[in-house]
Structure 1
Amino acid sequence: MQKKLILSDPAVMMGKPVIAGTRITVELILDKLAAGETIEQILDAHPRLTRDAIQAALSFAADSLRDEVVYPIQEVA
């Protein structure tokens, strides 16, 4: 069910994964959460979003990172 909430269409937001029926990208949701916004604040700011949609965005991001790609992280001194 959650996978149907995330779509990627080259004609919408240059193909970035979005919440179905919106132009709200998975990236935007992740950025807002990383900046410290709560789910409630995101839902208030974007009335077309649902908790299920936010959960689908998180699930999509986690699935995307399961690929066999290594992401080296360097510490900043």
Structure 2
Amino acid sequence: MKDFERITFDPKIMGGKPCIRGTRVTVGTIVGLVAEEYSFEKILELYPYLEKEDIHHLLNMLPGGLMSLGNPSQLYENFN
């Protein structure tokens, strides 16, 4: 079983979508940015309250990892 220490699920926040550590930043938002080839540094500029480890953690939570999915741009639709 995977550890969700940096990903939270709360029906009162963003309609229960998975978010980073209780923020209103959804997993789908970050996965979408990664799929659009945003660097971790750029994502952290956009969301300065996140940590690089947050991004690493959520990408490692994906089944098989991000690169095994073939077309990562479809991730945004699946997680957002």
Q: Which TM-score tier does this pair reach, normalised by the shorter chain?
A: 0.7 to 0.9
Structure 1 counterpart of 2:25, which letter?
A: I
Paired residues for 1:1-77 under 5 Å: 3-62=4-63
Q: C-alpha displacement at 1:36, in angstroms?
A: 1.2
5+ unaligned residues in a row in structure 1: which ranges? 64-77
Query: 8 Å contact 2:7–2:22 — kept in the other structure?
Result: no
Aligned-pair Cα RMSD in Å = 1.5
Q: CA deviation at 1:60?
A: 2.2
Deviations 1:39-68 (A, max 9, x none): 0100011001101100111122237xxxxx
Please, what TM-score do these two structures have when normalized by structure 1?
Answer: 0.73
TM-score (norm 2): 0.70
**Matched residues, number:** 62
In the alignment, residue 60 of structure 2 is paired with which amino acid?
A: S
Give the distance between the partners of 1:29 and 1:55, measured in 2 at CA. Answer: 11
**Are the equivalent residues in 2 in contact too, given 1:7–1:17 (CA < 8 A)?**
yes
